[in-house]
Structure 1
Amino acid sequence: MGFVLYLCRMNQLPNIRALSNEQLLTFLESIGEKKFRLQQIKEWLWQKHAASFDDMTNLSKSLRQQLSEHFSLPALTIDTTQYSADGTVKTRFNTHEGYKVEGVLIPTDERRTACVSSQIGCSLSCKFCATGYMDRKRNLTFDEIYDQVALINQQSESLFEKKLTNIVFMGMGEPLLNYNNVLAAIERITAEDGLHMSPRRITVSTAGVAKQIKKLGDDGVKFKLALSLHAPNDAKRNEIMPINETNNLKVLIEALNYFYAKTKNEITFEYILFKNFNDSLKDADELIKIYRQVPADLVNIIEYNPIDIATFQKPDEPAMERFMQYLEKHKVNARLRRSRGKDIDAACGQLANKGK
């Protein structure tokens, strides 16, 4: 996939990371530089993660000056970092023009997972999600998404002496409403001269954009797909997720089956339990019916993480256990996902750029 050359909003210089190899090589040759400089620059941009041209210390001062005069390098930088008692790390990043966006490192004994954002804010207004109450400022560019992963990978290596094992697009924003940048970021993350991560270790989570789910199938993507379901019928889903009014369950089930037929990639359902809303055994029955219409690998049952602006509550433990046992009794491959990072507002649905 070719990267579209876009202009840096602040100074109108082309973003160097949006250039193709051919474009950058043509520039280098035009100023009398040798071809091997291309590889050096690419290493700084994608593997050494330079935040400015001055960081590229094995380039001559004159070449660094030429690069800074002709191109921009609008890299994300770290604003604040918070550490949870359970080992979770939340980082707030700055964009070049001063917007904030958050990403999370979730360590376990077996995995180190980066939860990354795709937009600054969100336009979908899901009633239980803190990000849904924010305005969407803009989409993140492919290189800004890559920056999140690269910086969180550095944190993982520093704190746990191990690289990231997994990436989930479950942070701020709807990934499929930033389709081109998300796919371009994943292409760069999985590239040999990027982070060289297997696409099978990447999961893109969507609130349900049926047209784009089908496009993923047509494009033959290799990563996993998760649907944020959170309600077992259209009436309840309409109540908490306005996107369902234009992407109802019938349409989504059709799109998921189309995606699987085209890719055979793993599909997961995400289902947050809300007290006295979607946690009854009748709700479980309806969830089972949906599960059996799609070749889903797993249903993630998620603890709700309360946010100040919403009135939803988490069910008590016996209610969650009853729900889980009912699913298991009916041969549903379900897992109860406990919250991580609640003490720093880093858990599912809590990302909202809060704090200092």
Structure 2
Amino acid sequence: MKQDIRKLTAVQLKDWFAKNNQQGFRAKQVHEWLWKKSALSFEQMTNLSLPTRELLNEHFEIRSLTVDQQQRSNDGTIKSSFRLFDGNLVEGVLIPALRTDARDDGPSDRMTACVSSQVGCSLTCKFCATGYMDRKRNLDAAEIYDQVVAIDRQAKENYDASLTNIVYMGMGEPLLNYKNVLESVDRITSPDGLGMSPKRITVSTAGIAKMIRQLGDDEVKFNLALSLHAANDLKRDQIMPINESNTLEVLGDALTYFYKKTGTRVTFEYILFYNFNDTLQDALELWKFTKRVPAKINIIEYNPIAEASFKNTDPQTLDKFAGFLESKGVTVNVRRSRGKDIDAACGQLAGKK
């Protein structure tokens, strides 16, 4: 099997060209084609001679993903099923934002890519469709990068606009694929890559305390979101088994460490489930927990899945919950679901057609 050329570093690529009696600057040209111009084949590398392209094709391949299926929601959201080189499928979503709520921040022309980091997931969160799948493998950095490129292309073709934001909130737990996720962010943000600002990127975690601390040690520049959904251990244990080994106290300490190292405000994601975590007592517990670090709270509409019996809370309860937090000086954004009719909304990605 040919080697995946995108597994090579810039230094390794330069060494390979030298060993094959090729001029050194060719490595820089190839690197630019791969990560800045997002080339899908060596034939596209038109500033390389034909013999050089043939030599590359003889030894390497570009294992780019392809769009297996694409669906468009009534609200304009586009969900794509991406076929990987080994036949596995992951899903990514283009979310063209509409400002529909006074608490919903951001410009109306926001174009967000929601990307996956794993094939399946191992965390078994009870409200998430991906959690009912087996984790087959981690995505490599290039596969995550390819999702961004493909979704950006969709934004340009359908909305005549480029991506403004990227969220690692698709299939999988990003911090259990730490190395590849950080490498993909580097490819996306590097001047030698897509050149996007890291402040436009948010990595979401269900709460892996050890890796949150590692993010602090690495002084990452992107945003961090914690899928919280309950601010006491008893309730969180019921819906997120990861909490049994990463309790709220442990998570709180890790978040404090992360903020001390990076100075980046944390986002807490909170789905309001009917008659489970939507009381004013729950709001009080949430406020007390979020006081540990400068933060904002995204209240997310629950999106039903066949595997679970949870229900979305009613609008009046949501308003009271959000109003209580705002009365405490907390920044609260209410996130309305997008793409629910095509199973593209938060928690619904599971490779279904």
Give TM-score, length-normalised by structure 2: 0.94
Identity %: 59
Aligned residues: 343
Give, as a single letter, the amino acid of the residue that structure 1 aligns with 2:335.
R
- The correspondence of residues 210-225 of structure 1 with structure 2, limited to 5 A, is 210-225=209-224
Shift of 1:288: 1.1
Residues 192-244 of structure 1: CA deviation (Å, up to 9, x unaligned): 12110111111110000000000000111111110000012000000000000
Q: Is the 8 A contact 1:257 1:295 kept in 2?
A: no
Q: Is the 8 A contact 1:170 1:205 kept in 2?
A: yes
Residues 77-127 of structure 1: CA deviation (Å, up to 9, x unaligned): 111111111111111111101000011111122311111111000000000
Give, as a single letter, the amino acid of the residue that structure 1 aligns with 2:82.
F
Q: Is the 8 A contact 1:269 1:299 kept in 2?
A: yes
Shift of 1:138: 0.2
Counterparts of 1:219 and 1:324, CA distance in 2: 34
Could you tell which deviates more after superposition, 145-154 or 24-33?
Answer: 24-33
Counterparts of 2:220 and 2:29, CA distance in 1: 30
1:112 aligns with 2:111: yes
Partner of 2:320: 322
Partner of 2:250: 251
Q: Is the 8 A contact 2:144 2:184 kept in 1?
A: yes
Q: Is the 8 A contact 2:265 2:293 kept in 1?
A: no
Give, as a single letter, the amino acid of the residue that structure 1 aligns with 2:176.
L
Partner of 1:59: 48
Give, as a single letter, the amino acid of the residue that structure 1 aligns with 2:270.
Y
Give, as a single letter, the amino acid of the residue that structure 1 aligns with 2:25.
F
Residues 119-156 of structure 1: CA deviation (Å, up to 9, x unaligned): 00000000000000000010000111111111111111
Q: Is the 8 A contact 1:79 1:91 kept in 2?
A: yes
Partner of 2:100: none
Helix, strand or coil at the partner of 2:79: strand
- The correspondence of residues 53-202 of structure 1 with structure 2, limited to 5 A, is 53-108=42-97, 109-202=108-201
Could you tell which deviates more after superposition, 242-251 or 59-68?
Answer: 59-68
Q: Is the 8 A contact 1:51 1:77 kept in 2?
A: no
Counterparts of 1:55 and 1:99, CA distance in 2: 26
Partner of 1:14: 3
1:39 aligns with 2:37: no
Give, as a single letter, the amino acid of the residue that structure 1 aligns with 2:333.
R
Counterparts of 1:228 and 1:61, CA distance in 2: 50
Partner of 1:302: 300
Helix, strand or coil at the partner of 2:3: coil
Counterparts of 1:156 and 1:181, CA distance in 2: 25
Give, as a single letter, the amino acid of the residue that structure 1 aligns with 2:312.
K
What stretches of structure 1 of length at least 5 have no aligned partner?
Answer: 1-10
Give, as a single letter, the amino acid of the residue that structure 2 aligns with 1:261.
K
Q: Is the 8 A contact 1:100 1:353 kept in 2?
A: yes
Counterparts of 1:251 and 1:232, CA distance in 2: 13
Helix, strand or coil at the partner of 1:204: strand
Helix, strand or coil at the partner of 2:270: strand
Give, as a single letter, the amino acid of the residue that structure 1 aligns with 2:195.
H
- The correspondence of residues 240-279 of structure 1 with structure 2, limited to 5 A, is 240-279=239-278
Q: Is the 8 A contact 1:302 1:337 kept in 2?
A: yes
Could you tell which deviates more after superposition, 149-158 or 120-129?
Answer: 149-158
Give, as a single letter, the amino acid of the residue that structure 1 aligns with 2:171.
M
Counterparts of 1:123 and 1:60, CA distance in 2: 46
Give, as a single letter, the amino acid of the residue that structure 2 aligns with 1:104.
V
Counterparts of 2:218 and 2:18, CA distance in 1: 35
